């Protein structure tokens, strides 16, 4: 059996730093898209291998660059937490390990103005396929594959599959936090906005990357600080 590797890109990358869990997601493969080897993956190709992993309570490995030249470093750099087929392809979600290598990869994923590494590549054994019968058809249509690993790579052969999201303190996180506070009867709308502003400020002071300040943040934070100062002045010492 021959282990094959196909690189696909992640697509648009969106990120923010949680400072703790190094989570990201994207497509490991796209259906119907011809890669640089002339192969195309058919919908359902991963169904059997994913079912097998689900039954066994396992996941394919998460590697960097397929383990290096000649598989010289097969140490996983994290774990895949979810894999599923959808109408586009193989969707993957994972968490990088809190090791020097994992931290390095996460830093490369987050770099601006563009990520330094943003490709995904699958390592697999082709089980069933059909060969082309016409010159303009794909070399092979892969119908069933055994998925062994999904790697973060720097040079994808198929530019479509790329990391879609590096999860953390993004804009939606702060909006969701603000909405949650507003549902609490102890918080007015103004206090909720102020609390979010102070949270952002504390995170920035701690060296965590957060979205650009909302124009209302500075005024809201000042209002809450003034409220706190008045409360302390009225409190008995």
For the record, the structure tokens of 167 come out as 């999860």
pLDDT score recorded for residue 76: 94
Helix (H) or strand (E) holding 152: strand 140-153
Pairwise CA distance, residues 19 & 39, whole Å: 39
Q: Which of 5-9, 24-28, 71-75, 132-136 has the lowest mean pLDDT?
A: 5-9
For the record, the structure tokens of 215 come out as 């124009």
How many CB atoms within 10 Å of residue 8? 28
Pairwise CA distance, residues 107 & 99, whole Å: 12
- Is residue 40 within 8 A of residue 140, CB to CB? The reply is yes
For every residue of 111-124, DSSP letters joined together read -SSS-S--EEEEEE
Burial class (CB in 10 A: 0-12, 13-18, 19+), 85: middle
Confidence band of 2 (pLDDT split at 50, 70, 90): low
Say yes or no to pLDDT of 39 above 60. yes
DSSP H helix total and E strand total for the chain: 5, 10
Pairwise CA distance, residues 236 & 88, whole Å: 63
pLDDT tens profile 162-209: 565 555 445 555 565 666 666 666 667 776 677 767 666 655 554 445
- Higher pLDDT among residues 119 and 86, named by residue: 86
For every residue of 207-226, DSSP letters joined together read T---PPPPTTHHHHHHHHHH
Confidence band of 116 (pLDDT split at 50, 70, 90): confident
- Higher pLDDT among residues 158 and 35, named by residue: 35
pLDDT score recorded for residue 17: 47
pLDDT score recorded for residue 205: 52
pLDDT score recorded for residue 62: 94
- Higher pLDDT among residues 47 and 195, named by residue: 47
- Mean pLDDT, the chain, whole residue set: 75
Task: Please choose, from the candidates 61, 132, 47, the residue with its C-alpha nearest in 3D space to the C-alpha of residue 89.
Answer: 47
User: Taking the alpha carbons of 94, 100, 105, 109 in that order, is the dihedral positive or negative?
Assistant: positive
Confidence band of 13 (pLDDT split at 50, 70, 90): very low
pLDDT score recorded for residue 42: 96
Confidence band of 140 (pLDDT split at 50, 70, 90): very high
pLDDT tens profile 61-112: 999 988 876 556 788 999 999 999 999 999 999 999 999 999 999 889 888 8
pLDDT score recorded for residue 73: 76
For every residue of 44-66, DSSP letters joined together read TTTHHHHHHHHHHT---EEEEGG
pLDDT score recorded for residue 121: 85
């Amino acid at each position: 059996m021959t282990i094959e590797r196909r690189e696909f890109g992640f697509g648009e990358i969106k990120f923010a730093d949680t400072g703790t869990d190094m989570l990201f997601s994207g497509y490991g493969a796209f259906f119907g898209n011809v890669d640089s080897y002339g192969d195309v993956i058919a919908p359902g190709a991963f169904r059997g291998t994913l079912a097998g992993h689900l039954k066994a309570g396992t996941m394919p490995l998460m590697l960097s660059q397929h383990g290096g030249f000649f598989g010289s470093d097969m140490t996983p750099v994290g774990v895949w937490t979810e894999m599923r087929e959808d109408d586009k392809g193989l969707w993957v979600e994972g968490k990088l390990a809190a090791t020097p290598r994992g931290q390095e990869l996460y830093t490369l994923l987050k770099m601006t103005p563009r990520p330094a590494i943003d490709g995904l590549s699958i390592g697999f054994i082709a089980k069933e396929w059909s060969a082309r019968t016409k010159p303009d058809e794909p070399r092979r249509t892969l119908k069933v594959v055994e998925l062994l690993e999904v790697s973060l790579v720097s040079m994808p052969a198929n530019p479509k599959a790329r990391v879609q999201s590096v999860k953390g303190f993004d804009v939606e996180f702060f909006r969701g936090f603000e909405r949650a506070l507003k549902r609490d009867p102890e918080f007015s709308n103004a206090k909720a906005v102020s609390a979010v502003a102070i949270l952002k400020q504390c995170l920035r002071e701690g060296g965590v990357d957060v979205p650009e300040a909302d124009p209302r943040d500075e005024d809201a934070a000042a209002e809450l600080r003034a409220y706190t100062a008045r409360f302390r002045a009225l409190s008995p010492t």
